[in-house]
A and B are shown apart, each in its own frame.
Chain A
């Protein structure tokens, strides 16, 4: 059966640019690099547009390719986690129009210090609201591995939060 769905590239960019950019920015921690990654991902989508079968297929494909391209870009740049945070604070997080709780901002900062697989799993889980099964499919990893990465990532993040964000936690409570 022929695919009846006719994708409109410009509309897809409109629809998914925020998702792709946010994923890339959180994976790389570099706004400029994230823009490059997002651009590359969309241009690759343009080349593969005929193979897209449905809107959900596009979404799945974009998440998968963005995560993978971000990891590649990050490996190429070999950005250290500490540097990531300076980048995020200066370029990404410090946008005037975005209102964030200090705790949220710090959590996001700490997320970038996690190992890459854990970071990817947590971003897909909490930014994209994917189930572990969907994350496993997106990252092309075994479900057990993803569950373990989520657990370890959360545990590590909590430990960091407990040690570094005591003042915020106290204020919140």
Chain B
């Protein structure tokens, strides 16, 4: 008793809810927006890569500069050490000469 009118009602509802055609411009809008988004995504990806490349270049330049500076300081330190060693060697040699001369004088005084 209750089932029959419900079926009829459901049939009416089914008919009322048939799919409607999409607006004519919908597909065109979707495809245009898709194209725009693809281009935008590609552009932003390119920008990201460019920024990454610029960052890497900057890191390389800064890193190279720091490395060069460290190496330069080491080189200067090595050069200073070498000069100090030469100076010490010269001083040692001079002291040896003075020591030899003094020893000669002492021997002369003793005789």
Contacts and interface: CB of A to CB of B under 8 A. Distances in A.
Interface of A: 9-10, 13-14, 17-22, 25-26, 31, 35, 38-39, 42-43, 46, 92, 95, 98, 100-101, 103-105, 107-108, 111, 122-123, 126-127, 129, 154, 157-158, 161
Interface stretch (B21-29, B51-59, B76-84): B21-29
B20 A42 contact: no
B16 interface: yes
B8 to A, nearest CB: 9
A104 B16 contact: yes
B17 A39 contact: no
A17 B19 CA distance: 10
B111 interface: no
Given A39-B30, A46-B34, A158-B6, A21 B23 contact: yes
Contact of A43 (B9, B23, B34): B34
B27 A22 contact: no
Contacts of B18: 127
Given A126-B14, A154-B10, A158-B6, A18 B20 contact: yes
B19 A22 contact: yes
Contact of B27 (A13, A101, A103): A13
Given A101-B12, A103-B12, A126-B14, 8 more contacts: A10-B27, A21-B20, A21-B23, A111-B16, A122-B13, A126-B17, A127-B18, A154-B6
Nearest to B16: A104
Contact of A17 (B14, B15, B26, B34): B26
Contact of A9 (B19, B26, B34): B34
B36 to A, nearest CB: 10
15 contacts: A10-B27, A18-B19, A19-B19, A21-B20, A21-B23, A21-B26, A25-B20, A39-B26, A92-B20, A107-B16, A126-B17, A154-B13, A157-B9, A158-B9, A161-B9
Contact of B13 (A19, A105, A107): A107
B14 to A, nearest CB: 5
